[in-house]
Structure formats: C-alpha cells, structure tokens
Structure 1
Amino acid sequence: MRVGIMGGTFDPIHIGHLLVAEQAREAVGLDQVLFTPAAFPPHKQDKKITPVEHRLRMVQLAIEDHPYFHLSDIELYLPSPSYTVRTLESLRKAEPHAQFYVIIGADMVNDLPNWYKIERILEVSQIVGIRRPDIQIEHLPSWIEERVIWVTDSVELNLSSTYIRERLARGMSIRYLVPDSVYQYIKGYRLYES
C-alpha cells in the first residue's frame, strides 16, 4: 500500500491543503493520504496555535467525504515536539508493509537538510515535493534529491492559514477558502476572532 503523509498545523485547514494532497495522490498513485495534524509543531513552539482538538475536527470535516483521505491523530500520542520522523516510525510499526510518502511544498523541500533526523526520514519514506513557480529550488545534497519525487503539474494557489486567520480577525469572509463545513465550524466556535 502506498500511503501519503500530509502533516501540518492545519490552523485552519484550507482548500490549498486539499488540492496539494489530491495532486500528490494522483501523481504518485497513492492508495490513501493520511492527514496528521501536529499536536506540537516544532517550528511553532513560541506561537499561539488553536487547540489540537479543534484542528483535528476541522481536518475531519474537510476530508470526510473523500474516499482516499483519512485523519490520523497519531501525533497526539507521541512525545513533543511533533517531529515527522516520530510519526513515520509509529506508522511503520502499525503498517510495516506500507510505503510512505511525505507530501510537502517546494519551500519545505528547500529546508529538508535542517529537518530533525532527516537521514532516517529518507530511509523509511520518500518525499513528494509540490513545485511552485514562485519558489526557487535550492541545491540539495544528492542523497536528499534522489529521494524527492517532484509534482510539477500542480495548481498554483497562494493561500495560507495565516492569511485566513488574518481575514477572520478583521471580520472578513473566508468563504470558498475553506470547505463549507470548516467555515461553519469556525463560525460556530468563533475561532480566530480578534
């Protein structure tokens, strides 16, 4: 089984995340994509993030009608911070015969040499990098580059969770930037209001 791993803070999840996951699934022939919200993102330890229970529920709502997308709460049960290598090791124990593919944007590919235990990540998975015309790919060491599968036929969508939170804080609409079920959840819990 070929399993894509779509990690992230998802604060909130938006259509850009869903498009990237779908493009990777189609391009690489993934049997499923696991969305793994980070309980304690290592790069956001000094930032305020929405409680993981809300982020999990928003992901669940966003993907509930997609037959190949699944939610994993595995990172809730792992030590903090939420490192990709820990997630992969736990998933491998549960699914020893699966092939894992970590789905990330081109900007994150550039940062791979700095990832915690990147050597181990590349031993147990491949990277699916989503190219974007606005991101210049830096020279990567060959031992990393050979483990990256590039998706070049992707829809360019300049959208971020930060942008969505900023719009909400200013009282602006985010309709059509997130699935409607996520929009209703955010409104219902008054998330991201200033």
Structure 2
Amino acid sequence: MTGKIGILGGTFDPPHIVHLIIANEVYAQLGLEKIIFLPNKIPPHKKESGFVEADERVRMLKLATASNPHFEVDTRELSREGKSYTFDTMLEITQESPEQSFYFIIGGDMVEYLPKWYRIEELLELVTFVGVNRPTYSLNSEYPVLDVTVPEMDISSSLIREKCQKKSPIDYYVPEKVADYIKEHHFYES
C-alpha cells in the first residue's frame, strides 16, 4: 500500500482534545491515509514527566483514538533504551514502509527548536515536517515546514495535570473515556 502517513509524537501525559484536533486537521487538510500517534519515553528536549507510567499513557491514548479508524498508536519508542530520537524512529519506520511518505507533525514550539534536533539534515530526507500553529509561537524556520492551520486552543497536558491536582473538572479537555480513566486511577492528583 502506498500512501501518505502522518506521525504525531509526544508524551501524551495525558492525551487531550488538542492532540486529536491537530491530528484530524492534518489528516483532512493533507489527505493522509492515517495518523500514527507515537508516544515517547524520554524525549530529548523535555525532562521526564514522571507522572504516569508509559503503559498507562498508552492505554489513555488508545481510549482517546479508538473512535477514529484513521488513528493508530505505535509504541516502539517505549521499548527502546535511552533517549528517543525522532531520527532513529523514523529511520526504522521508513525502512519498514519504504513506499510510504511520512509527514511528521510538530507544534510551533518545536518548529523553533528544529535546528537543535538530532541529525536534522538526515531526518529531512526521511520526513516532511508539518508545523501547526500554537499560541505565541512562530512557524518560521530555516528548514522546510508545511504549515497547517488548526484552531488555536491554549490547552496542554500540563494544564490538565494542574486541574487534576486542584481537583477541578477536566471534562471536555480530554475525551470522556480518558477523563473517566484518569478519575478512576486518581492520576495527577498529587
């Protein structure tokens, strides 16, 4: 099968509606075959969050994406030792599916960070970067980045974790099944 596949990486701690809206907008606007959600273990640019174990984040991500037949979850980065570099993962994925074209989705915050990405020049040979707008960030880059406009919402995983700590409702910030799962397991409360 030949086609265009979107990749959306992140810690998804927890996955929320903005992740899903971004994936759906890029899927629709670029005419992609599917979007692969790629949860990572230790992203090089972030400190380890240490909030929820990887298998629980995967469970929440699967709950969040289950209703969309064009969304998949790929857990390969979670079994890798050490830091997760996009280059290593995409080299592996492109070798498995050389006939596919891959579109790696990043927010404006990561567009600005591209010059610091591990093996960025080689990575550009493997993927097309897709930049989605985020409040207060620019999509300008010295590297080629396709711009996809998505509705701007200032919702983040850290905001949801803060709301959970304060025992504030997170309804509508995350899909209902994810909210139920978070409440049931008392994630992010302390």
TM-score normalised by L of structure 1: 0.92
Match of 1:37 in 2: 39
Match of 1:120 in 2: 122
Match of 1:178 in 2: 174
Shift of 1:133: 5.5
Shift of 1:39: 1.7
Counterpart-to-counterpart distance in 2, 1:46 and 1:106: 21
Contact 1:78 1:86 in 2 (8 A): no
Question: How do 1:90-169 and structure 2 match up within 5 A?
Answer: 90-132=92-134, 134-138=136-140, 140-141=141-142, 144-145=143-144, 148-152=145-149, 154-169=150-165
Counterpart-to-counterpart distance in 2, 1:137 and 1:32: 24
Which secondary structure state, in structure 2, belongs to the residue aligned with residue 13 of structure 1? coil
Contact 2:135 2:153 in 1 (8 A): no
Gap regions ≥5 residues in structure 1: none
The answer to whether residue 85 in structure 2 is matched with residue 88 in structure 1 is no
Shift of 1:134: 3.0
Contact 2:131 2:139 in 1 (8 A): no
How many residue pairs match? The answer is 188
Counterpart-to-counterpart distance in 1, 2:147 and 2:183: 37
Q: Which residue identity does 1:161 align to in structure 2?
A: S
- How has the CA–CA distance of structure 1 residues 89 and 78 changed in structure 2, closer, same or farther, with 3 Å as cutoff? farther
The CA RMSD measured in Å over matched residues stands at 1.4
Contact 1:106 1:137 in 2 (8 A): yes
Shift of 1:42: 1.7
Q: Which residue identity does 1:85 align to in structure 2?
A: F
Shift of 1:47: 4.1
Shift of 1:16: 0.5
Counterpart-to-counterpart distance in 1, 2:179 and 2:135: 29
Deviations 1:3-38 (A, max 9, x none): 100000000000000001111111111100000100
Q: Which residue identity does 2:115 align to in structure 1?
A: P
- How has the CA–CA distance of structure 1 residues 182 and 49 changed in structure 2, closer, same or farther, with 3 Å as cutoff? same
TM-score normalised by L of structure 2: 0.93
Counterpart-to-counterpart distance in 1, 2:177 and 2:48: 29
Q: Which residue identity does 1:98 align to in structure 2?
A: Q
Counterpart-to-counterpart distance in 2, 1:60 and 1:96: 26
